Amino acid sequence: MKEFDYVIIGGGCAGLSLAYELDIHDKLKNKTLAIIEPRKEYSKDRTWSFWKVSPHNFDDCVQKNWKNFSINVTGKTNHLKCDEYPYQSIDSGLFYKKINEKIKSNKNIFFFQNLDGINLRNSFIFNSVPSITKSPQDLWQHFCGVEIETQKETFDDHIFNLMDFDCEQRDSVHFFYTLPYSKNKALVETTWLSNMNDDSQKDYDYQLKHYLEENLKINNYKIIYKEVGAIPLFYPSYKREKNKINIGTAGGMTRLSTGYTFLNIQEHSKYIRENINNISEIDKFKIDKKYQYLDEIFLRVLKRNPKIMPDIFFKLFRASPKAVIKFLSNKSNFFEDLTIIFKMPKLTFIKALFN
Ligand SMILES: Cc1cc2nc3c(=O)[nH]c(=O)nc-3n(C[C@H](O)[C@H](O)[C@H](O)COP(=O)(O)OP(=O)(O)OC[C@H]3O[C@@H](n4cnc5c(N)ncnc54)[C@H](O)[C@@H]3O)c2cc1C
């Protein structure tokens, strides 16, 4: 049986981010690391987007930055600025390539497709494979996006559309999201916040075609990439063990109100790297309790009152885009939290507060 000082289970976003962070800070000079990842080859399979509120290692994998965004509800559009915290999209294909090229040259890092023949008894384990038991109550953010190319110049690539609620809601919360990479290339996503109890919202191809042709009036386009995904808006079960830490989605790095996870993964990797020498002693890295609590109330409101959500998002961002961006990125101060809380419909939220 082979033994390693560290074992990362799952070489996806969190596993590779951590391996890279340890490698570039020379934390594996006298230690061995095994990465367990079933896929044989990596290719672009998702796009990670977020407001850049803190530095990360992957600026060279950014597909595009935006300093302006919009939100639509039927008949109204908010044009907003995010110049202080630009919105970034990372191409996962570039991310996988950059990390794999770098860490493959470290002779202390080993790659396996499964745990066969590996003795974990004396290793410290970083696990990114979530344990999810599906319950009909749980909320998910599920979506399908297509990157399209048009012959004519079609998009204004200075501004992205965060949420367009001008679409069928089907008793859930549904919006489209458009990231224009250039004047003739954009990622357009149909996104649902719902409990996914049936497949009736998964006619994604129809939704995208209808939106592109009827709302955006684009008829002549080619689909060059497609991504489908579902992000749990609840915490996967987590059993803390002395020689194991969960990372990524499995480690509770997702903001439940938004699904944003990428930057939290980067902050968690940094925290682990800084504490690697006494890793079994450190406190669990968590998204601040205040956000966990407020997200829980927010999702309770969303579950009970899906119809009012487009208006809530619209008004929220209009009040102070900067405060909302900082709040959704776990960086808000007390006054920014208050700005947000006061913008919520009071009675609805008070009811949710008391269950
Ligand atoms: C399509 C998509 C788009 C997203 N977009 C955004 C976004 O824009 N912004 C944002 O902040 N977040 C986004 N997220 C959420 C989150 O950032 C990503 O899911 C991110 O990839 C989570 O990283 P992870 O390492 O936890 O999981 P993953 O990246 O999924 O990595 C888990 C790895 O474990 C491997 N694995 C599976 N089973 C086993 C096993 N039994 N043993 C060993 N390995 C195994 C998988 O092959 C995979 O490589 C998105 C999620 C999806 C699915």
349: confidence class by pLDDT, cuts 50, 70, 90: confident
Q: Are residues 119 and 207 part of one domain?
A: no
Distance CA 67, CA 58 (A): 19
- pLDDT digit string (tens) for 104-113? 999 999 999 9
More confident site: 17 or 283: 17
Give distance in angstroms: CA of 329 to centre of ligand 1: 19
- Of 92-101, 221-230, 268-277, 306-315, the one with minimum mean pLDDT is 306-315
Give distance in angstroms: CA of 348 to centre of ligand 1: 34
CB 207 within 8 A of CB 167: yes
Nearest CA to ligand 1 atom 45: 10
| Residue 284 domain-assigned (yes or no) | no
Last residue of a domain, one of 217, 248, 278: 278
Q: Are residues 147 and 225 part of one domain?
A: yes
CATH of the domain at 220: 3.30.70
Atom of ligand 1 nearest to the CA of 249: 26
Q: Are residues 186 and 65 part of one domain?
A: no
Q: Are residues 296 and 243 part of one domain?
A: no
For the segment 155-172, the average pLDDT, to the nearest whole number, is: 96
354: confidence class by pLDDT, cuts 50, 70, 90: confident
Q: Are residues 211 and 121 part of one domain?
A: no
Per-residue pLDDT, 344: 83
Residue 207 has pLDDT above 90, yes or no: yes
Per-residue pLDDT, 109: 98
| Residue 180 domain-assigned (yes or no) | yes
CATH of the domain at 99: 3.50.50.60
Give distance in angstroms: CA of 230 to centre of ligand 1: 10
State the residue for tokens 């407001």: 51
| Residue 220 domain-assigned (yes or no) | yes
| Residue 62 domain-assigned (yes or no) | yes
Which residue type, as a one-letter code, is found at position 128? S
Whole-number percent of the chain with pLDDT over 70: 100
Backbone phi and psi for residue 245, each to the nearest 5 degrees, phi listed first: -130, 135
Q: Are residues 268 and 340 part of one domain?
A: no
| Residue 304 domain-assigned (yes or no) | yes
| Residue 123 domain-assigned (yes or no) | yes
Distance CA 46, CA 91 (A): 7
Tokens matching residue 119: 């003795």
Q: Are residues 312 and 249 part of one domain?
A: no
Predicted TM-score (pTM) of the model is 0.96
Q: How would you list the strands of the sheet with 47-51, edge to edge? A: 47-51, 87-91, 62-66
347: confidence class by pLDDT, cuts 50, 70, 90: confident
Residue 198 has pLDDT above 80, yes or no: no
Atom of ligand 1 nearest to the CA of 17: 25
Last residue of a domain, one of 194, 214, 232: 232
Buried b (16+ CB within 10 A) or exposed e, 283-315: eebebeeebeebbebbbbbbbeebeebbebbbe
Q: Are residues 248 and 107 part of one domain?
A: yes
Residue 355 has pLDDT above 80, yes or no: no
How many domains does the chain divide into?
A: 3
For the segment 97-109, the average pLDDT, to the nearest whole number, is: 98
User: Among 231, 325, 328, which is best to mutate for testing ligand 1, by the most ligand atoms less than 8 A from CB?
Assistant: 231
324: confidence class by pLDDT, cuts 50, 70, 90: very high
More confident site: 171 or 68: 68
Q: Are residues 243 and 109 part of one domain?
A: yes
Which structural domain, as residue segments, surrounds residue 293?
289-354
Give distance in angstroms: CA of 229 to centre of ligand 1: 9
Average pLDDT of the chain to the nearest whole number: 94
Q: How far is CA 197 from CA 67, 174, 322, 338, in A?
A: 37, 15, 35, 35
CA angle, residues 232, 244, 33, in degrees to nearest 5: 105
Ligand 1: which residues within 6 Å by Cβ? 9-15, 36-39, 46-50, 128-129, 227, 229, 231, 248-250, 259-262, 265
Give distance in angstroms: CA of 197 to centre of ligand 1: 22
240: confidence class by pLDDT, cuts 50, 70, 90: confident
Residue 170 has pLDDT above 80, yes or no: yes
Q: Are residues 122 and 11 part of one domain?
A: yes
Q: Does residue 236 sit in helix, strand or coil?
A: coil
For the segment 194-211, the average pLDDT, to the nearest whole number, is: 92
Per-residue pLDDT, 134: 81
User: Among 36, 37, 235, which is best to mutate for testing ligand 1, by the most ligand atoms less than 8 A from CB?
Assistant: 37
47: confidence class by pLDDT, cuts 50, 70, 90: very high
| Residue 283 domain-assigned (yes or no) | no
Q: Are residues 331 and 246 part of one domain?
A: no
Residue 265 has pLDDT above 90, yes or no: yes
Per-residue pLDDT, 241: 86
For the segment 171-182, the average pLDDT, to the nearest whole number, is: 96
Q: Are residues 256 and 183 part of one domain?
A: no
Residue 74 has pLDDT above 90, yes or no: no
Give distance in angstroms: CA of 283 to centre of ligand 1: 24
Residue 115 has pLDDT above 90, yes or no: yes
User: Among 225, 249, 255, 272, which is best to mutate for testing ligand 1, by the most ligand atoms less than 8 A from CB?
Assistant: 249
| Residue 101 domain-assigned (yes or no) | yes
User: CB burial class (10 A; 0-12, 13-18, 19+) of residue 349?
Assistant: middle
